[in-house]
């Protein structure tokens, strides 16, 4: 009876240990930010965004310069023109302020939308490549290196770059 009990305990321990070993998943890590920083499509997208941003900044600066010139002119002439003209100019200045503010807000929204339009397909392509490499190498989990405090597992960044063609 004691031998049966010992045998059952040993069998239970053996089953528990083997299930624990099977439950341990194979993990790897990848540096997504490194891939994104060196990916040619990402670099091209950043150049497009920078060019668009420069265009918006130039237009914004032109609007501000025009506003400041009118403001200076109106301030210099305010004592020599009628009250009605000064009121009309004040309304014009307020309208210019609103247009400048609206332009800045719209430019920012358009830049954010353009960034999303450019980079979302790239991010999806990177994700698909990571999944493909991870599955091919038999990993159940692939973690982003940027979020890992300790990474003893294999780094598959080079394999993902190769999959993406660079």
Q: Which of 40, 50, 36, 24 is nearest to 140 (CA)?
A: 24
What's the pLDDT tens digit per position in 83-128?
999 999 999 999 999 999 999 999 999 999 999 999 999 999 999 9
H-helix or E-strand spanning residue 11? helix 2-23
- DSSP H helices in 24-144: 32-38, 40-77, 83-136
The reply to whether the predicted model has a pTM over 0.75 is no
- The mean pLDDT value for 132-147 works out to 89
* Spatial distance between the Cα atoms of 148 and 77, rounded to a whole number of angstroms: 65
Length, in residues, of the chain: 166
């Amino acid at each position: 009876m004691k031998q049966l009990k010992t045998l059952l305990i040993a069998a239970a321990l053996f089953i528990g240990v083997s299930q624990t070993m099977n439950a341990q998943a194979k993990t790897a890590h990848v540096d997504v930010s490194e891939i994104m920083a060196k990916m040619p499509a990402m670099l091209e997208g950043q150049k497009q965004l920078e060019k668009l941003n420069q265009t918006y900044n130039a237009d914004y600066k032109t609007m501000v310069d025009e506003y400041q010139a009118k403001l200076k002119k109106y301030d210099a002439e305010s004592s020599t023109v009628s009250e009605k003209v000064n009121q009309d100019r004040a309304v014009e200045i307020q309208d210019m302020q609103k247009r400048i503010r609206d332009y800045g807000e719209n430019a920012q929204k358009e830049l954010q939308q353009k960034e999303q339009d450019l980079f979302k397909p790239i991010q999806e392509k990177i994700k698909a490549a990571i999944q493909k490499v991870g599955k091919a190498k038999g990993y159940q989990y692939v973690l982003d290196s940027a979020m890992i405090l300790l990474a003893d597992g294999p780094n598959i960044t080079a394999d993902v770059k190769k999959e993406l063609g660079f």
